């Protein structure tokens, strides 16, 4: 029997057949936020890492709300993930927005900005605690030029 490599994990394990349970107590190796299908968490679990419960709309966490961000931060503080993977919505900052009315693009970006600011804050928190983060967005995304990313990651000029 042949398997599609895209759906096959280590040692031929099929993603669709690999069942994993997130770790909800104690320190974890990996936490996926804004995860969509949570394939990264599943892959990390398949490699033997302790993986936290995905934080995403699909799991009942809305990072556009202050309550959702507060709960997510509680998880990060309590479980101290070694690596936090974040994939904030990229559409409002994508190249395709260049064809839209500027006011429409502004409204979209304003809606998702609290999520982006939260991701920048989580990244700084991880750095301050000697841990790691990944923020997923295209290289051409204008998300990298938001004030929160510049303030967080670019050294201040004298």
pLDDT tens digit sequence for 76-100:
999 999 999 999 988 888 877 777 7
Query: Looking at the predicted structure, is the pLDDT value of residue 37 above 60?
Result: yes
Helix, strand, coil percentages for the chain (3-state, nearest 5): 50, 10, 40
Number of other residues whose CB lies within 10 A of the CB of residue 55: 26
The full DSSP string for 105-116 is: HHHHHHHHHHHH
Query: Looking at the predicted structure, is the pLDDT value of residue 16 above 90?
Result: no
Is residue 63 helix, strand or coil?
A: coil
Query: Looking at the predicted structure, is the pLDDT value of residue 11 above 70?
Result: no
CATH for the stretch 20-153: 3.40.50
Instruction: Give the domain ranges of the chain.
Output: 20-153
Q: What percent of the chain has pLDDT over 90?
A: 42
């Amino acid at each position: 029997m042949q398997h599609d490599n895209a759906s096959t994990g280590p040692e031929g394990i099929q993603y669709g057949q690999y069942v994993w349970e997130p770790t909800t107590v104690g320190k974890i190796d990996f936490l996926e936020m804004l995860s969509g299908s949570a394939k990264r968490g599943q892959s990390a679990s398949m490699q033997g890492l302790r993986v936290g419960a995905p934080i995403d709309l699909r799991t009942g966490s809305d990072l556009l709300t202050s309550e959702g961000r507060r709960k997510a931060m509680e998880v990060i503080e309590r479980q101290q993930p070694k690596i936090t993977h974040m994939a904030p919505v990229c559409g409002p900052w994508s190249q395709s927005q260049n064809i839209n009315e500027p006011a429409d693009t502004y409204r979209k970006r304003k809606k998702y900005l609290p999520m982006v600011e939260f991701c920048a804050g989580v990244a700084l928190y991880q750095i301050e605690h000697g841990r790691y983060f990944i923020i997923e967005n295209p290289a051409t995304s204008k998300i990298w030029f938001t004030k929160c990313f510049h303030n967080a990651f670019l050294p201040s000029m004298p």
